[in-house]
Structures are given as structure tokens and as C-alpha cells.
């Protein structure tokens, strides 16, 4: 019998007011029904925002270290249930168990990190220009946070947003991705058990066109945090700007790994296989471009094709599998359409480029790891985000050209360079236009205590993770205390 999930509003698990539901199935096996979820509407969202506004008035008064204890407890519960959470995540999203365990662990790490920040939330004290007067700046919560999260990291990315928002004293309404609502419902159960008060955290399942749009325009939502495509991010920024809402956007990427002639080629090979085909290429930080110095191009391409051809595809619950399915039939069609674009553009299809339909895989949305050679920087497959297991290989003459080619992109999220030359490594760190640069590591693998985000079309300047997340979920308040007992006029009564 199918598991029926509900929305979580004002501390209660409730169905959509319309009574409508939608099924969620395993992308590796369409016969496997993960659950039935509410197909919510504007009325459900309005109720959740009202609950959040009411709860916010009380939650913001709870001392930050006490709020943080609830998040610490949530992390402990997640750690106890890591395997259970990860297995369900693999069923609803498709990526292999090693990766869903990592996704869950990232949520655990975020919980413990943000719990520690509850005893900091540092402000600033500073000298002032008049005697017997004190100046400081402190952080204050923004209000109700509307969170819209993607399907590729069903636990990690929601926790990146939820935990700092709650520690800072905000209330939350989250719309999980339509492909992966079960994991966010699990998070709701965990926060409920951890003692987060009713209304402080609310989950409304539904489509972006209905629930997502309602969040954007709702006058009771003070800050919006979104992770997803750049096209949708532009729409959110437009609506948010019109209503003077704070908006945080973490958007797409067209990330590149550079391999120079002096690199450890075996290490670089491990990096590109993990970067390009981990999560079946469905990461904003996935390695989509491989930039090879011409001296090692032919040798490395042979190594790459031999290794990528041996990757094992199949259901993520099989511990021996290395590459799971794409998240949906439509995503697989999108990936394949880009493969056709690459062929028409004149790139050489050296590996893959087709559905994988062997045995039980016929029930899922599998796509073979794909490699294009002879790719030029102007080709669409080298410029547009594909979000699948498709790698474009570009040849360059030296490190300078490699960095120029890497930077020739409208995106700027993650980047990677493999070299043994410390001078070239630091040149790359300085000159690469990206929010993240790895030296002798793949383009994926961010840690929760460092800022996460990018430049150009990858976002609007905010960062997730680390202490920088509080720049999204707090306002600065400047405080002046004059204990002189007389009127002192700043800028006027200052001695020469």
C-alpha cells in the first residue's frame, strides 16, 4: 500500500485543501511507488505563511543558543536515521547509496555547524567619535523565509537554508522539489521531534507554478532563498525585486576541469570521472567541460574513455552500482536532445550518447556516460547547462589558454585545475572567474563551513553554507548608547 504524505502546517500533518494528490515514483524502477503527496494550492500556502508569521513573533524571542539546541538535536536524530533517510532518498531521486549517505551526512554536518553558530552570531563593536558613547551592530532575523529547493540534493540543500534560517530566529515555509518531497517531509518529522515549535517550520508540497509563484508574491514572506536554474532564478529575482523582497539565488553552472601537462593523470582521471558522472551529472557543480593541454590530450582521452566505459549503471540501491538514473523521463529527453545538438554542431561523439536499457534498467531513466571530443568553446554543448552525464572535451595549448577557455562562460560556480606547478596553481586561483576553485581535486565536494556559490549567471551575490548564510537570513541593526547625560551631535560636536 502506498505511503501517503501530507503537508506540515502549524505543527499538524494535513492534506491539501483541494484533496488532490500526485504520485512520486522511483526513477530507477517506475513500478516502485515511493509515495503519494499533496498537490497543494494557494490556500495551503497562505495557511502556512499565516502559521509562520504567528510563530515568528514567539520564535524570534527565544535566545539564539536555545534555538540552536533544537537544530543540534535534529542533527543527532538525522545521524541515528542516516541509513533510513538515505535509502528513501535513493528511491525518490535515484543517485547511488554512497551519494545519498553523503547527502544526508552533509545535512548532519550543517546541523552541527549551524548549532555552533547559535552561540556566535557575531556582531561588531566599534569606536565612536564622541566621548561617553558606545557603538555596535547586531544581527536580527528577517521574518518569514520562503525556501524553494531542488531535487538533486533533497536533504543537503534544504538544510543549508532551513538550519541557518531557524538559528537566526526566522520562521520557514519550504516548498520541496516535486520529484523529491519525501526527504523534506522526513526533515519535518525530525524537526518536530527535535522540539521546533509548531508553525516555525512548515512544508507545502506542490508545483513551482502554483506554490512557488505564491511564495514569490506573498506579502507575508520577507526573504526568498532559491536553488535551481538560472532561467527560473531570473523570474524569482524579477518578482522579488518588484516587491522589495530579499532574494538569494544559487543557480546553474558550466564547470570545467583543467588538466595541464605536468598533472598526476591518474588523479585527474579519478577527479573527472567523479565530477562528470557522480549524481549522473545532475549537480550544479558537475564537471561539464574538460580542458586538456595538448601535450597530454590524446593520452588522457584514451584513459578517460576506457574508464568511463567501465562505469557500472543500475539502481542506486545496488551497492556495486556507480551511476544511477536521471531523475525523470523528461530530464533524460533533455540530456539526449543536447547530445543531438552536439552531433549537429560537429563534435565527435566518442562514448555513450544513448539510453541505457539493459535488464531491469528498462524500468528506469538511465543514460550512458557520454564523451564529446573536438568541442569548440562556441558550441552549445560547451556553453549551456545540460545537467546529465555528458562531458565536453576541449584542447588548449597552455595554462593561459586553459584559463581563458574556462572563463569563457556565462556561469561561474565551480572550477578545477590539476597541476604540480604551485605557481600555475596560484595563478589559476587568482584568474579563474568562479566562486569555487579546487586544486588537484574535482569540481564537486564542497564542505559546509566554507561559502558556497558563484559569479555571473550562477547567482546574485549571496552564498550558502558557512557563516555567510546568515547574511541572507539576518538584518543588521546599528545601536548607539550615549551615557554622557547630555546631547551630543554626531559630525557637529566632534573636536578638531
Catalytically active residues, by annotation: 250, 284
Instruction: Judge whether 308 and 349 are in contact, CB under 8 Å.
Output: no
Close Cβ partners of 388 (under 8 Å, ≥ 6 residues apart): 280, 281, 282, 326, 331, 332, 334, 335, 338, 367, 370
Q: How far apart are CA 455 and CA 262, in angstroms?
A: 29
Phi-psi sector, 137: left (phi>0), alpha (psi -120 to 50), beta: beta
CB 350 within 8 A of CB 174: no
**CA 246/CA 225 separation, integer angstroms:** 9
Q: 243 near 217, Cβ under 8 Å?
A: yes
Q: For 16, list phi and psi in degrees, rounded to 5.
A: -65, 145
Kind and range of the H or E run holding 394: strand 390-396
| Cβ contact 139:481 at 8 Å | no
Residue 142, C-alpha cell as written in the block: 528577517
Q: Rounded distance, CA 444 to CA 287, Å?
A: 8
* Cα distance between residue 71 and residue 69, in whole Å: 5
C-alpha cell at 417: 585545475
What crossing angle do the helices spanning 156-167 and 97-117 adopt, rounded to 10°?
Answer: 10
Residue 435 DSSP class: S
Cell 557522480, residue located = 278
Write down the H helix ranges in 94-180.
97-117, 156-167
DSSP class of residue 272? H
* CB proximity list for 422: less than 8 A, separation 6 or greater: none
Q: 162 and 147 in contact (C-beta within 8 Å)? A: yes
**CA-based nearest residue to 30, from 378, 456, 366, 437:** 366
- Return the H-helix or E-strand segment holding 145: strand 144-148
What is the Cα–Cα distance from 471 to 460, expressed in whole angstroms? Answer: 13
Residues 349, 392 contacting (CB under 8 angstroms): no
Q: How many CA atoms lie within 13 A of 81 on its CB side?
A: 18
**Pairing state of beta strands 411-412 and 348-351?**
unpaired
Amino acid at each position: 500500500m502506498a505511503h501517503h504524505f501530507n503537508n506540515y502546517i502549524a505543527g499538524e500533518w494535513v492534506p491539501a485543501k483541494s484533496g488532490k494528490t500526485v504520485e512520486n515514483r522511483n526513477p530507477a524502477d517506475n513500478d516502485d511507488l515511493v509515495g503519494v503527496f499533496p498537490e497543494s494550492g494557494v490556500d495551503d500556502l497562505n495557511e502556512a505563511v499565516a502559521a509562520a508569521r504567528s510563530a515568528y513573533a514567539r520564535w524570534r524571542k527565544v535566545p539564539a543558543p536555545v534555538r540552536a539546541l533544537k537544530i543540534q538535536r535534529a542533527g543527532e536524530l538525522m545521524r541515528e536515521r542516516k541509513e533510513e533517510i538515505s535509502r528513501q532518498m535513493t528511491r525518490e531521486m535515484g543517485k547511488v547509496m554512497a551519494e545519498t549517505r553523503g547527502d544526508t551526512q552533509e545535512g548532519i554536518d550543517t546541523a552541527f555547524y549551524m548549532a555552533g553558530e547559535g552561540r556566535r552570531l557575531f556582531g561588531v563593536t566599534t569606536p565612536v567619535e564622541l566621548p561617553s558613547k558606545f557603538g555596535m551592530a547586531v544581527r536580527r532575523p528577517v521574518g518569514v523565509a520562503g525556501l524553494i529547493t531542488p531535487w538533486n540534493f533533497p536533504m543537503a540543500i534544504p538544510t543549508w537554508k532551513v538550519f541557518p534560517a531557524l538559528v537566526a530566529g526566522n520562521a520557514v515555509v519550504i516548498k520541496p522539489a516535486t520529484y523529491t518531497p519525501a526527504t523534506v517531509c522526513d526533515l519535518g518529522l525530525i524537526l518536530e521531534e527535535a522540539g521546533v515549535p509548531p508553525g516555525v517550520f512548515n512544508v507545502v508540497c506542490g508545483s513551482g507554478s502554483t506554490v512557488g509563484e505564491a511564495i514569490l508574491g506573498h506579502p507575508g514572506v520577507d526573504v526568498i532563498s532559491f536553488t535551481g536554474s538560472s532561467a527560473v532564478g531570473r523570474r524569482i529575482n524579477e518578482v522579488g525585486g518588484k516587491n522589495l523582497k530579499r532574494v538569494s539565488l544559487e543557480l546553474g553552472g558550466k564547470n570545467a576541469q583543467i588538466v595541464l601537462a605536468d598533472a598526476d593523470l591518474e588523479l585527474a582521471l579519478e577527479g573527472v570521472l567523479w565530477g562528470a558522472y557522480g549524481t549522473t551529472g545532475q549537480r550544479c557543480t558537475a564537471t561539464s567541460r574538460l580542458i586538456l593541454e595538448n601535450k597530454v590530450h590524446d593520452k588522457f582521452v584514451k584513459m578517460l574513455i576506457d574508464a568511463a566505459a567501465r562505469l557500472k549503471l543500475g539502481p542506486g540501491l545496488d551497492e556495486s552500482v556507480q551511476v544511477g538514473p536521471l531523475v525523470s523521463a523528461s530530464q533524460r529527453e533533455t540530456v539526449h536532445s543536447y547530445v543531438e545538438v552536439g552531433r549537429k554542431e560537429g563534435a565527435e561523439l566518442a562514448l555513450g550518447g544513448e539510453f541505457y536499457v539493459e535488464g531491469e534498467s528498462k524500468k528506469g531513466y538511465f543514460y550512458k556516460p557520454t564523451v564529446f571530443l573536438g568541442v569548440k568553446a562556441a558550441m552549445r554543448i560547451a556553453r549551456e547547462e545540460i545537467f546529465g552525464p555528458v562531458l565536453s572535451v576541449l584542447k588548449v595549448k597552455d595554462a593561459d589558454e586553459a584559463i581563458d577557455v574556462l572563463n569563457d562562460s556565462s556561469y561561474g560556480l565551480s572550477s578545477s585545475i590539476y597541476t604540480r606547478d604551485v605557481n600555475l596553481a596560484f595563478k589559476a586561483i587568482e584568474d579563474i572567474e568562479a566562486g569555487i576553485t579546487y586544486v588537484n581535486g574535482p569540481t564537486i565536494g564542497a564542505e559546509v563551513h566554507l561559502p558556497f556559490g558563484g559569479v555571473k549567471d550562477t547567482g546574485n551575490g549571496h552564498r550558502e553554507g558557512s557563516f555567510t548564510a546568515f547574511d541572507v537570513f539576518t538584518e543588521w541593526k546599528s545601536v548607539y548608547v550615549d551615557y554622557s547625560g547630555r546631547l551630543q551631535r554626531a559630525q557637529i560636536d566632534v573636536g578638531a
